[in-house]
């Protein structure tokens, strides 16, 4: 049989067709617009997600035996607020994960309700990108629109709803709303009361590998598929990427170097970082995970290349970088504020340490190193909890750079395993679809069969020592400049 994984990203939707043996048969992608109506705001039109997904599905299925398609599942950008009215029409553009408008609401939750209280209810504190602060913002600033809200959704769940008619979400994605009791896998009644949300406004909860419904007949006809094709709940993008890299079960690690950057550690047991610098979420395999998330990772390099250097020759820009571990220029990678571990939506990016002999290559190198140092910040929190990680899988667009992987391996002092498929959330979504359709008895069993390590980047001991010294300098910078934020 064939299985489809839909990776609903921030800039594009990527669709992947996989057979039962894990072989990728075809990939299609479609882009859509991202809107920044005010500084620090980030929005998208959910209708664009659906329309581009349908168009991508048609390309994906054009040359295959459509009768063999058994299931569709998802990996999707997390935390976005999607609101529907009683006629199932989108009320306003979705407020995305990297939107920073909710500083006041985040402060209210953390300071008035209290971080300890929030952590007790949800295992997490409030971050500007989470869904609950967005809900409070909408209630305050758009009360007339809020009165119309009948359904509150996350981005990938809007696709599932349009495809199946089932109002659903999964535990991994719901974990990032600040409305879920993560430990007990249930909506937190206390948080619903705090956020003035009715239970009926929230979707039914599923495990990521559970079937939520089947394809609507009219959509099945449009795509040439059977209406018996199963729709499986899917997962938040990071949990789906972890499945796609085999980061399931106890004590596995995955680095995702996409638009955002994440350090993801899977566990069979529930656990919370005492300072809530790392997120404590449910995992797509039925277990749990700890995750550090930096809001700008590969997007830092994209910004530097596209907007500042005005070039698409990413690899060529990195060719002249030779003196690893010796760069005197630092880059703080906070283009959209920062989440882990600083939780500061007002933080901004900056270069430090430039002099008259600073070169273009120094600054490019500083961008790559700054992201690596930011991920190291989260790894240090994990290490402070007694978690010992010696190796990690790596995925995401930034992982295609040999130089960046070499830098990361040295900065983190980890062996970085490269897998056969680099498709992350899309591949994870297809695996979840296969599990949901009964092809495999569990997510872990599927990953053991389908995910294969093909290469490993070993940390260079000389660079490890050099970067250790550079990191100790880097970690002093944010505390030193924090008082300057926000810039006016």
Residue positions in the annotated binding site? 78-79
> What is the rounded CA–CA span in Å between residue 279 and residue 281?
6
Residue among 237, 282, 285, 377 flagged as catalytic: 237
Annotated binding site for substrate: 78-79
Q: How far is CA 361 from the centre of its chain?
A: 29
Q: Token digits for 39?
A: 């500084």
Cβ(432)–Cβ(243) below 8 Å = yes
3-state secondary structure the chain: CEEEEEEECCCEEEEEEEECCCCEEEEEEEECCCECCCCCCCEECHHHHHHHHHHHHHHHHCCCCHHHEEEEEEEECCCCEEEECCCCCECCCEECCCCCCCHHHHHHHHHHHHHHHHHHHHCCCCCCCCHHHHHHHHHHHCHHHHCCCCEEECHHHHHHHHHHCCCEEEHHHHHHHCCEECCCCEECHHHHHHCCCCHHHCCEEECCCCEEEECCHHHHHHHCCCCCCEEECCEEHHHHHHHHCCCCCCCCEEEEECCCEEEEEEECCCCCCCCCCCEEEECCCCCEEEEEEECCCHHHHHHHHHHHCCCCCHHHHHHCCCCCCCCCCEEECCECEECCCCCECCCCCEEECCCCCCCHHHHHHHHHHHHHHHHHHHHHHHHHCCCCCCEEEEECHHHHCHHHHHHHHHHHCCEEEEECCCCCHHHHHHHHHHHHCCCCCCHHHHHHHHCCEEEEECCCHHHHHHHHHHHHHHCCHHHHHHHHCCCC
- Find, among 42, 57, 54, 38, the residue nearest to 11 by Cα: 42
* 99 in catalytic set: no
Question: Could you give the residue numbers annotated as active site?
Answer: 237
């Amino acid at each position: 049989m064939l299985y489809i994984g839909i990776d609903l990203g921030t800039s594009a939707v990527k669709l992947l067709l996989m057979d039962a043996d894990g072989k990728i048969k075809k990939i299609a992608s479609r882009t859509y617009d991202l809107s920044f109506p005010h500084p620090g705001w980030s929005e998208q039109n959910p209708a664009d997600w659906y329309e581009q997904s349908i168009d991508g599905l048609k390309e994906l299925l054009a040359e295959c035996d459509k009768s063999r398609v058994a299931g569709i599942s998802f990996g999707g950008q997390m935390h976005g607020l999607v609101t529907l009215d009683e006629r199932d029409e989108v009320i306003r553009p979705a407020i995305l994960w990297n939107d920073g408008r909710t500083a006041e609401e985040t402060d209210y939750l953390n300071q008035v309700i209290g971080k300890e209280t929030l952590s007790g209810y949800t295992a997490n504190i409030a971050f500007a990108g989470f869904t609950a602060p967005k809900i409070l913002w909408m209630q305050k600033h758009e009360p007339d629109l809020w009165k119309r809200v009948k359904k509150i959704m996350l981005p990938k769940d809007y696709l599932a709803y349009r495809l199946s008619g089932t109002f659903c979400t999964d535990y991994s994605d719901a974990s990032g709303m600040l409305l879920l009791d993560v430990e007990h896998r249930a909506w937190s009644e206390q948080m619903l009361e705090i956020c003035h949300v009715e239970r009926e406004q929230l979707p039914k909860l599923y495990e990521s590998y559970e079937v939520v419904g089947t394809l609507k007949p009219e959509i099945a006809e449009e795509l040439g598929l059977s209406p018996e094709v199963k729709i499986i709940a899917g997962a938040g993008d990071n949990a789906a990427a972890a499945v796609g890299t085999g980061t399931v079960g106890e004590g596995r690690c995955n680095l995702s170097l996409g638009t955002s950057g994440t350090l993801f550690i899977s566990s069979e047991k529930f656990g919370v970082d005492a300072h809530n610098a790392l997120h404590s979420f449910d995992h797509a395999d039925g277990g749990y995970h700890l995750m550090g998330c930096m809001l700008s990772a590969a997007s830092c390099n994209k910004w530097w290349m596209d907007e500042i250097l005005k070039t698409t020759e990413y690899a060529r820009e990195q060719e002249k970088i030779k003196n690893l571990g010796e760069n005197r220029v630092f880059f703080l990678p906070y283009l959209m504020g920062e989440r882990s571990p600083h939780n500061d939506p007002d933080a901004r990016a900056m270069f430090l340490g430039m002099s008259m002999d600073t070169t273009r290559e120094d600054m490019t190198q500083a961008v790559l190193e700054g992201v690596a140092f930011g991920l190291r910040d989260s790894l240090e929190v994990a290490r402070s909890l007694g978690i010992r990680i010696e190796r990690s899988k790596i995925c995401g667009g930034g992982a295609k750079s040999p130089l960046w992987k070499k830098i990361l391996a040295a900065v983190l002092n980890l062996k970085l395993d490269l897998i056969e498929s680099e498709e992350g959330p899309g591949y994870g979504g297809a695996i979840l679809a296969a599990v949901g359709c009964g092809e495999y008895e569990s997510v872990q069993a599927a990953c053991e069969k389908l995910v294969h390590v093909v290469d490993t980047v070993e940390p260079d001991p000389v660079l490890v020592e050099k970067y250790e010294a550079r990191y100790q300098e880097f970690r002093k910078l944010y505390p030193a400049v924090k008082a300057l934020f926000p810039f006016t």
